[in-house]
Structure 1
Amino acid sequence: MRGVEGRICEEFSPAYYGLCAIGGMLSAGTTHLAITPLDVLKVNMQVNPVKYNSISSGLTTLLREQGPSALWRGWGGKFFGYGVQGGCKFGLYEYFKKLYSDVLVGHNRSLIFFVSSASAQVFADVALCPFEAVKVRVQTQPNFAKGLVDGFPRLYATEGLSGFYRGLVPLWGRNLPFSMIMFSTFEHSVDLLYRNIIQRRKEDCPRIQQLGVTCLAAYAAGAVGTFISNPADNIVASIYNRRADNVLQAVKNIGFLNLFTRSLPIRIALVGPVVTLQWLFYDSIKVLSGLPTSGRLTSHLEEISGTA
């Protein structure tokens, strides 16, 4: 394959997947770090909805009782945990999308996007789970630990290795549907914007316009994925804080309707901008490396799926 001037690597090469993993790590880690205060409030609203019953009153209660520093509790878990998860999620998604597009010849693109994102997310959540287990406890139990350095040995001493992965299944339950919906919505939104709104090929658009399409498609993907994943997000918080021993007990304690509504406004405020910034940072790294932005990335996907 001939090299393209300005590119530091070729698409679908090992270096390309490595670059995607680094881009995903940097974009996910930095964006999750930035919204740590809102994440602290969200987790406390999920665990203790009576005390933290709204965004404004919950924020006031946290500041009054624990001070401004409480809003940054668990920042290490956010930065390192979601950085590792982002590296796996984006890098492996690119790998699996190429793999499955070659294997699932004749199938439509939605199936390829679904199985690619699901495969990547399985590995990403295994990497994230120990960080998430410590982070949630640090954020909701002020006397548990100060951060990852003392949180990891404290959790291992009290609950053993299983404590780090107690919430893995609910985490999959939250993140697998979200990831599948997010990546598929993003890909189809990019396609819709270029095909029906801009009515030009991506390659014919300036890079700044391509990044604008990335942001619009990412925000749509985040909004749709948030609602789908909200029940599992509440279950994860309940299990990690020992409010429930299993999924069925958590559902019973929270209530079916509350699974969808509890903490939903703050999650929408969190997830939409975070997903948008992640894709913007991720695609900016691609652009700086001389690579095309995400979505409508490879013509072979359209050719083998029989859809344009």
Structure 2
Amino acid sequence: MQGLFPSQQALSHVFGGCSPLTPRQSEPQPKYRSKYLARTELYTVWSAADDVKNKAAKLSDAAAAELEKGSRKGQEAVGKIQLHSAKFYAACTFGGILACGLTHAVVTPMDLVKCRRQVDPKMYKGNFEAWGKISRAEGFRGVYTGWGPTMWGYSVQGGFKYGGYEFFKKFYADLVGEDNFHKYKTLVYLSASASAEFIADIGLCPFESIKVRSQTTIPPFAKSTWEGIGKVTSKEGLGGLYKGLYPLWGRQIPYTMMKFASFETVVEMFYNYLPGSKSDYGKGAQTAVSFTSGYIAGILCAVVSHPADVMVSKLNANRGAGEAFGAAMGRIYKDIGFRGLWNGLPVRIVMIGTLTGLQWMIYDYFKIFMGLPTTGGAPPEPEKTKA
């Protein structure tokens, strides 16, 4: 008598290939075609869509194979990278350069509008109106005003931030001991990220100063990064490039503390919620977790650091020569008030969320490319000794 429930073979036939965690197997073609099946030549659109889908799958497989081949060659050229070695920190630094410099340069149009609206809220009614006016007046290049100092500055900052975070995380973990690290790991994440960002901002500050001045002056303050640096140093000396360092620390250190601590926490939550352990998931799944966790962390970062971001933009654009830092901050706050500290927050949430998600995805994929584990996640369970 036939059972009430479908057999294991039937279930496997129907649902095999639906799981995102296992590679899809090509189904064998039936030996005899049933007369009840639709004739595919009568449904050309359906056939064309299947052709496109199959071609896309082949291209994706080919790209994955090339990346795998490149990964093997890269690892062979560099050699095996031991965790927490000098070579490991160098790889993390390079990954940070890739992650931050490229992503910040790509979103320059959003940053341009954000900075101009922070300095003068009446300049544009909305973001799309702003991009339209800028493109009509200055062309496509005008929409990307400030991309040069942005890319240079955040490349330097990204290298010190990610490489420094890996170094300080290990340093503070060793300092407190393994047992205390698992108890107070969030404090370790916060301390490590704050230490790394403190150093990274010293490299970022001169480029950030040029970026903000270029984006908030019409016509732009300088045509290139190095022209802008020359103009500032000739009038104000080297100190002119660093007059925004204190508010930059005030913006970036809380931002980075939230970015790294919340990312580590969210990643761990994901792997605790998902079935199995982190090692059970492939490269694609792990980078997807990195992107999603980074996007969530980016939203939190944007909210926490936005008031300081407004002050940095105002200070770099409107600080008078010889004006003391405290006096300038007081004057700016008096002009804009508490509500003015939140100008441009929605566009910054979108920008920073996207940025942070892409940065973690690029950084962690580069670590995979070099044969290193991705960031975050619960530590592997200790193996049980046999009796």
Fold shared, TM-score > 0.5 on shorter chain? yes
Structure 2 counterpart of 1:306 = none
Superimposed CA distance per residue, residues 258-306 of structure 1 (whole angstroms, 9 cap, x where no aligned partner): 212x011111121111111111111111001111111137569x9xxxx
Contact 1:135 1:147 in 2 (8 A): no
Following TM superposition, by how much is the alpha carbon of 1:53 offset from its aligned partner in structure 2, in angstroms? Answer: 3.4
Following TM superposition, by how much is the alpha carbon of 1:57 offset from its aligned partner in structure 2, in angstroms? Answer: 2.2
Structure 1 counterpart of 2:201 = 125
Superimposed CA distance per residue, residues 158-201 of structure 1 (whole angstroms, 9 cap, x where no aligned partner): 211111011111101111111101111100000000002x1322
Matched, 1:263 2:335: no
Q: Distance in 1 between matches of 2:253 and 2:333?
A: 18
Matched, 1:66 2:123: no
Structure 1 counterpart of 2:251 = 174
**Given residue 219 of structure 1, which amino acid in structure 2 is its aligned partner?**
Y
Structure 1 counterpart of 2:191 = 115
Q: Distance in 2 between matches of 1:200 and 1:158?
A: 61
Matched, 1:250 2:332: yes
Structure 2 counterpart of 1:202 = 278
Pick closer, same or farther for the CA change 1:297–1:151 going to 2, 3 Å. farther
SS across alignment from 1:255:
helix
SS across alignment from 1:241:
helix
**Given residue 16 of structure 1, which amino acid in structure 2 is its aligned partner?**
F
Contact 1:45 1:58 in 2 (8 A): no
Following TM superposition, by how much is the alpha carbon of 1:143 offset from its aligned partner in structure 2, in angstroms? Answer: 4.8
Pick closer, same or farther for the CA change 1:186–1:11 going to 2, 3 Å. same
Q: Distance in 2 between matches of 1:149 and 1:190?
A: 40
Matched, 1:153 2:230: yes
Contact 1:29 1:82 in 2 (8 A): yes
Pick from 373, 376, 379 the counterpart of residue 292 of structure 1: 373
What TM-score do the two structures reach when normalised by structure 1? Answer: 0.91
Q: Distance in 2 between matches of 1:53 and 1:100?
A: 47
Following TM superposition, by how much is the alpha carbon of 1:111 offset from its aligned partner in structure 2, in angstroms? Answer: 0.4
Matched, 1:35 2:107: yes
Superimposed CA distance per residue, residues 76-130 of structure 1 (whole angstroms, 9 cap, x where no aligned partner): 1111100000000000000000000111232511100000000000001010000
Following TM superposition, by how much is the alpha carbon of 1:137 offset from its aligned partner in structure 2, in angstroms? Answer: 1.0
Contact 1:31 1:278 in 2 (8 A): yes
**Given residue 255 of structure 1, which amino acid in structure 2 is its aligned partner?**
G
Structure 2 counterpart of 1:224 = 300
Superimposed CA distance per residue, residues 48-80 of structure 1 (whole angstroms, 9 cap, x where no aligned partner): 111123212222232233332211111111111
Unaligned segments of structure 1, at least 5 residues? 303-308
Pick closer, same or farther for the CA change 1:203–1:171 going to 2, 3 Å. same
Contact 1:73 1:147 in 2 (8 A): no
Structure 2 counterpart of 1:305 = none
What TM-score do the two structures reach when normalised by structure 2? Answer: 0.73
Following TM superposition, by how much is the alpha carbon of 1:248 offset from its aligned partner in structure 2, in angstroms? Answer: 2.3
**Given residue 253 of structure 1, which amino acid in structure 2 is its aligned partner?**
D
Pick closer, same or farther for the CA change 1:11–1:139 going to 2, 3 Å. same
Pick from 10, 27, 40 the counterpart of residue 82 of structure 2: 10
SS across alignment from 2:125:
coil
How many percent identity over aligned positions?
38
Q: Distance in 2 between matches of 1:29 and 1:281?
A: 11
* Greater Cα radius of gyration, structure 1 or 2: 2
